[in-house]
């Protein structure tokens, strides 16, 4: 998980891991935090080791060291914070410089539950930026759980396909998968 400090990386991870939103404020992540979670993708167990990185500039050199080993990166901005969105290009530049060429990148506009008067970044702006960099995009809310499970499960599915292949020989496209699931309004594990 990457992005500026305060965009909700830790809250997103807690929501995915426990299904709960912890009210109150988190103290800033120092360095890197780890969470392991095993999820089922088409009856195959996939172990996700999720690294919750510090967003502050002073920890950037620490997080750079972890880019190389990452198979996927979820890059977050806060839809109520224009600076966090403006910094996405710099984050993507760092990813291109330090991460593997085939790393899966997903751009997440977090805090999508906010009141419209608080919103600084339109959904269309996030979609446009994601298209420019050819990365998957969706808006999320750690508070309500909106698209949180879908984001992680789409990544898990992509990683499983890369490692094991697709048994039915169909081509899996994470961007298309996310588009289909968000249009349905549900994610496969929930079927709601």
Residue 65's pLDDT is what?
Answer: 73
CA distance 55 to 77: 11
- The residues spanned by each domain of the chain are 2-184
- Global pTM reads 0.86
Residue 53's pLDDT is what?
Answer: 74
- pLDDT over 70 at 143, yes or no: yes
Torsion of CA 39, 40, 45, 49, to 10 degrees: -20
Domain 2-184 has CATH 3.10.129.10: no
Split at pLDDT 50, 70, 90, the class of 189 is very low
CA distance 39 to 148: 14
- pLDDT over 50 at 190, yes or no: no
- pLDDT over 60 at 31, yes or no: no
Split at pLDDT 50, 70, 90, the class of 64 is confident
Mean residue pLDDT across the chain: 87
User: Helix, strand, or coil here: 107?
Assistant: strand
Which pLDDT tens digit goes with each residue over 154-167? 999 999 998 887 65
- pLDDT over 70 at 12, yes or no: yes
CA distance 21 to 56: 23
CA distance 138 to 28: 24
């Amino acid at each position: 998980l990457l992005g500026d400090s305060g965009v909700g990386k830790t809250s997103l991870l807690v929501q995915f891991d426990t299904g709960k939103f912890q009210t109150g404020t988190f103290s800033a992540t120092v360095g890197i935090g780890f969470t392991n979670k095993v999820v089922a993708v088409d009856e195959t167990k996939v172990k996700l080791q999720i690294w919750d990185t510090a967003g502050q500039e002073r920890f950037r050199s620490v997080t750079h060291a972890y880019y190389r080993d990452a198979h996927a990166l979820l890059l977050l901005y806060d839809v109520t914070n224009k600076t966090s969105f403006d910094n996405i290009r710099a984050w993507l530049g760092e990813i291109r410089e330090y991460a593997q060429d085939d790393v899966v990148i997903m751009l997440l506009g977090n805090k999508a539950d906010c009141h419209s008067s608080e919103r600084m970044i339109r959904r269309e702006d996030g979609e446009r930026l994601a298209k420019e960099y050819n990365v998957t995009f969706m808006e999320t809310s750690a508070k309500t759980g909106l698209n949180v499970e879908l984001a992680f499960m789409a990544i898990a599915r992509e990683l499983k396909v890369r490692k094991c292949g697709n048994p039915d020989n169909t081509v899996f496209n994470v961007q298309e998968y996310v588009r289909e699931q968000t249009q349905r309004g549900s994610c496969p594990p929930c079927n709601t």
